[in-house]
Structure 1
């Protein structure tokens, strides 16, 4: 098949959307499909052996890393229309659409290209986080207008799929995220790194992810005074300086990647995730693959990922006393920590990217078949 992959966030930005797109491209390459990437920003000219087309865009004032199509939609649409007509893909993979979703759907419709839209970011939830109810309602209206025109919308978890359906979005199926079980494995646990994290043998409790307001990392403050516990925060972002003041005893690693990230995650004893707006939560899945039990807020995709009382604990959103109690339970019981870590590893070890991406290829074929029937 020939696949056009359109993403409004891509390299050099590192985030969940970029990571999953890279994995999809890697799989398309090893299974001998043809692809071309269309991305906003300043992407590299190629990725995984496929050409990358730079679509016209501008940075938001004060947030230059957030790219949106140029103010004149016809410019972005015209460039995309010309390049897609030249490539003639069988299917268009639309990654986490929002600002770019409308122009892409119009162009795809005019060219008769079936679209598989990947829902990944809870934009409406972010607005709710800041009390912007009207903006959240408007966001759902926009999400509906984009995804409603796709042949298929893929949600990363049953909970996120149910939320899409509840907002009248049609043709929704679940496509989970894969995990690199070579990069994230208990074998990467590093005694020397643990000694740096906890020189006095403390239990290492960590957060992994982008340090942004919607992640609510400041909730870890409820754990700051626990005896025998060392907090470790793996990641970077706009909230880092404020969080360093809020969590003065925590060890901040900054942004990590590659083997350094693998070792840091596997060297945790407990992973805590506090963000309630995750449609999936790849960081939690990678911790589980590393044999680390997860304590997470019982909201969004985390409800589907963490098996309560078997691979970790879920706590009610906003109940920080429950968060503290769940962490205390694991800190005080090494045997339980180990058992839950083993169960977590077993639960996700078969969810490799090749397996998950094979499912995606079947979804591409499904979308193309539906489009062919409709066009007949």
Structure 2
């Protein structure tokens, strides 16, 4: 197949969309499919590939890690005519994604999209809930003519189905078990970060309001004293609330900033628990990665995370807006070493079945179905 991908974020950006698309393109290389990527300009030199066609961009004022692009539509149109893709995949609903949507219609190229981010949920964390209705109107309009909308979880499927989005298909995520596995040296990690406490708890992700970071601060200060003195936290990631976290941390908290996956995996593998309070995930890749490391997860019973954690089998789910649930869940698991060990064993068994290769084959099969349906419709028109 020949695939044109339109996205407002790509590697080396550190987010779920960019990482997923990066893995997808690596798989397309491996399986000899052709592709081009239309993405923001800053990615070209760092990504180092001629298959990326960068568009000028600037940081979005409210969310500087995101960029707003100004696509050169005439050049992109000529590129598409030259490349002659079998399908266009729009991964984001912003300026580059909108360009892909418009050109797919004009050039009569089969069009699919993927829905990665619960922007509506984000609004409440930035005191912008008044924008919810216009946001949904735009998202409904944006996706209405797509032959397939790929969503990462049953939760997101239900969310969009209730709003009458058409042609929805679940496309789950996978995990790279060559990186995320339980066989790292725990003593090396403990020595590297000077961890003396009995238990290691970790968090990986953007440090921002939409990740429910307030819960981490609550846990720093409110876990039972007998446990708190035996716990060391490692917080991996960066973002606008990092300073707030640092100002409210206790002595037993280490901040690493962003780390490459090869450095994240040994920390998570050495952890007794992975704590992830975000309620806004459409999937939650880091949760699956933690399970692959043999680390039980205490996470939110909300969004995509609730579809990954098997309650009492690979971790525990906590009610949204109930910080005490996290405290109780952490206490219960740490106080029962035999159960904690079994949770870890179960987690690895589950994660081993979530191969990226299978997920990408499911996506490619979806592409093929759309292409076939479009050809059939054109033939009978």
User: Within 2, Cα distance between the matches of 1:44 and 1:282?
Assistant: 25
In the TM superposition, residue 321 of structure 1 has moved relative to its aligned partner by 0.9
Say if 1:152 and 1:171, in contact at 8 Å, map to a contact too. Answer: yes
Q: Secondary structure at the match of 1:25?
A: helix
**Which residue of structure 1 lines up, in the alignment, with residue 349 of structure 2?**
346
The one of 248, 251, 268 equivalent to 2:250 is: 248
| 2:328 equivalent to 1:325 | yes
- Partner secondary structure for residue 29 of structure 2: helix
**Against the structure 1 CA distance between its residues 43 and 196, is the aligned structure 2 distance closer, same or farther, given a 3 Å change threshold?**
closer
Alignment match, 1:20: 20
Describe the superposition over 1:339-375 as per-residue Cα deviations: whole angstroms up to 9, x where unpaired.
1111111112121111111111101101111222232
Q: Distance in 2 between matches of 1:370 and 1:19?
A: 30
SS in structure 1 opposite 2:303?
Answer: coil
CA shift digits 1:140-190 (9 cap, x unpaired): 111111111211000000001110111111000100011101100001243
The one of 260, 270, 276 equivalent to 2:279 is: 276
Q: d(CA) in 2 for partners of 1:334 and 1:155?
A: 37
Residue pairs, 1:46-125, within 5 angstroms:
51-61=51-61, 63-70=63-70, 76-125=72-121
2:366 alignment counterpart? 363
Q: Give the match for residue 298 of structure 2.
A: 295
Change (3 A) 1:345 1:50: farther
Partner of 2:346: helix, strand, or coil? helix
Asked whether the 8 Å contact 1:218–1:246 carries over to 2, the reply is: no
| DSSP-derived class of the 1:188 partner | coil
3-state SS of paired residue (1:93): strand
Instruction: Give the TM-score taking structure 1 as reference length.
Output: 0.94
Name the CA distance, whole Å, in 1 between partners of 2:313 and 2:2: 42
The structural deviation recorded for 1:62 is 6.4
CA root-mean-square deviation: 1.8
Partner secondary structure for residue 306 of structure 2:
helix
Native 8 Å contact 1:276 1:299 kept in 2: yes
Would you say the 8 A contact 2:207–2:237 is kept in 1?
yes
1:305 maps onto 2:308 in alignment: yes
> Shift in Å at residue 269 of structure 1?
0.8
Q: Unaligned regions of 5+ residues in structure 2, if any?
A: none
Superposed, 1:151-230 pairs within 5 Å as 151-197=147-193, 199-225=195-221, 226=223, 227=227, 228-230=230-232
| Structure 1 position 259, deviation (Å) | 2.1
Shift of residue 287 of structure 1? 0.2
Alpha-carbon distance in structure 2 between the residues aligned to 1:127 and 1:48: 35
**1:264-317: CA deviation from partner (whole Å, max 9, x where unpaired):** 111111001111000000011100010000000100001101011111000100
- CA-to-aligned-CA distance 1:225-250 (integer Å, 9 cap, x gap): 43222222111122211111122331
From 265, 268, 271, give the equivalent of 2:268.
Answer: 265
Does residue 136 of the first structure (1) align with residue 132 of the second (2)? Answer: yes
Alignment deviations for residues 109-134 of structure 1 (CA, whole Å, 9 cap, x no partner)? 11111122111011111013334233
Asked if structure 2 preserves the Cα contact closer than 8 Å seen for 1:205 and 1:271, the reply is: yes
Q: CA deviation at 1:38?
A: 0.8
> Distance between the aligned counterparts of 1:290 and 1:48, measured in 2?
30
For these two proteins, the number of residue pairs brought into alignment is 372
